[in-house]
Amino acid sequence: MALTTQQLITWKQQSRPIIALTAWDYAFAQILDMAGVDIILVGDSLAMVALGYQTTLPVTLDEMLHHAAAVRRGVERALVVCDLPFLSYQESTSQAIRAAGRALKETGVQGVKLEGGHPAAVETVARLSDIGIPVMGHVGLTPQSVNRLGYRQQGTTEAEAERILLEAIALSEAGAFAIVLEHIPAKLARIITTKLDIPTIGIGAGSDCDGQVLVTADLLGLSEKQPPFAKSYVNLKEIITKAINNFSQEVREREFP
Ligand code: KIV
């Protein structure tokens, strides 16, 4: 049975931490799902970790849907959420409905995520939620705004912290089912988490969020560069390289097959 957004809210009420990770293909999605991850996010970070771009900006909606469909085929239990990529939803609410609608209809994901908590983003979340498309918000560091904000921690001044708090409240009131809090002070994340009835999913936002998300490539030691708040639990790049070197050596020495 696939998880529902309502289940996430129940877990928040029960203080049961929510586990979220990103995926970009069928094989990883299957592993994450079988390991019991609750939310599998087809994040637009796949632009960097799967497609070799420098930022998330170049990835297109068609590319995201291609990866989302592969991920969805590998998942039975987790809630699968697909990022709406840069410029696939900011132009107008109709553009956002078309993009989010394609994600649900063409890939089978159960929700979409979009960045920002400014009034236009809030209006989009309200419209999508009204027509039955579950939306996850994302405030704090929003990588699609890298050219304006860089990758620095957000919410470090009182004014910025107040703005982010108000954005999170507005997104929640608009109907978002959860909100990613990225790279903000732990104290601010704690305040937002306490104020909202919907779950907060932190990344670089301290341990008091209702759940945590990491880019799976960072967790596995596969990324070229990773943010200061990420943690690698294994160096898969080293392990894979060793396996390939062993294979190459056995082929050169005609030991394999
Ligand atoms: O694109 C992504 O992977 C994300 C996570 C960092 C939350 O948005």
Domain regions of the chain by residue span: 5-252
Ligand 1 neighbourhood includes 84 CB (under 6 angstroms): no
Q: Write out the two tokens for 247.
A: 């294979």
Give the sign of the dihedral formed by CA 53, CA 73, CA 181, CA 139: positive
Q: How many CB atoms lie within 10 A of CB 242?
A: 10
- pLDDT tens for the chain, 257 residues long, are 789 999 999 999 999 999 999 999 999 999 999 999 999 999 999 999 999 999 999 999 999 999 999 999 999 999 999 999 999 999 999 999 999 999 999 999 999 999 999 999 999 999 999 999 999 999 999 999 999 999 999 999 999 999 999 999 999 999 999 999 999 999 999 999 999 999 999 999 999 999 999 999 999 999 988 999 999 999 999 999 999 999 999 999 999 99
3-state secondary structure of 215: coil
Ligand 1 centroid–CA 39 distance in Å is 12
Helix residue ranges per DSSP H, the chain: 5-13, 26-34, 46-49, 61-73, 93-107, 119-130, 146-149, 158-174, 186-195, 216-219, 236-252
Whether 180 is in the pocket of ligand 1, judged by its Cβ within 6 Å, is yes
User: pTM of the predicted model, to two decimals?
Assistant: 0.98
Pick the CATH number of 5-252 from 3.90.1300.10, 3.20.20.60, 3.40.228.10, 3.30.750.24: 3.20.20.60
Ligand 1 pocket, mutate which of 71, 213, 229 (most atoms under 8 A from CB): 213
Cβ 209 under 6 angstroms from ligand 1? no
Contact 42, 24 (CB under 8 A): yes
